[in-house]
Structure 1
């Protein structure tokens, strides 16, 4: 089960930021492999908000793959549209994004 600690206002704010982002993590033919999880975790720790793309050659359902990645990285799933998803995890050591209350 995905934890969702974000309010609707915060999700809306993060979605607006994600509109202009390029995908950082790509899920390919291997699906959600340990390598993908590791690179996603590193990107999330560095950026807090990460756009994920499920490539056409991935055999998994895009929604299931992005949900699985969110669970394995312990991040909040902000949005899934088609083959793209937004993941967010707050970095308390060095925050990059100031969320609205």
Structure 2
């Protein structure tokens, strides 16, 4: 579980990130989960965008994805959300 200080630090890192995955009208499928798992292992911190035609809210999808992938919710703004999961070889030094 991330502390407020850790979440704040990760939010500061997301300002420069572009969405690496776009979820469309099919929603969260097995293929999307597989891609997210690979991206989290490679990058640790990723931003995802939901298309307007998906009919889903960013917080709902973020919650679902975090439960499935055992990752941490960082933030959501509009149709974008950010999640974090430490990889086997950590890339980001999060303050304690």
- Normalised by the length of structure 1, the TM-score is 0.89
Give the alignment partner of residue 64 of structure 1, picking from 55, 60, 65.
Answer: 60
Q: CA deviation at 1:62?
A: 2.5
Runs of 4+ in 1 over 6 A off after TM superposition: none
Counterpart of 1:97 in 2: which secondary structure? coil
For structure 2, the residue ranges without an aligned partner over 5 or more in a row are none
For structure 1, the residue ranges without an aligned partner over 5 or more in a row are none
Q: Give the match for residue 16 of structure 1.
A: 12
Give the alignment partner of residue 89 of structure 2, picking from 77, 81, 94.
Answer: 94
Please give the alpha-carbon distance, in whole angstroms, between the structure 2 residues aligned to 1:60 and 1:46.
26
Q: CA deviation at 1:67?
A: 1.5
Deviations along 1:12-45, one digit per CA (max 9) or x if unpaired, are: 1100000110001211110011111110110001
| Number of positions where the alignment pairs a residue of Structure 1 with one of Structure 2 | 96
RMSD: 1.0
From the two aligned structures, give the one with the greater helix fraction: 2
Give the alignment partner of residue 25 of structure 1, picking from 21, 32, 41.
Answer: 21
- Normalised by the length of structure 2, the TM-score is 0.94
Q: Does 2:95 correspond to 1:77?
A: no
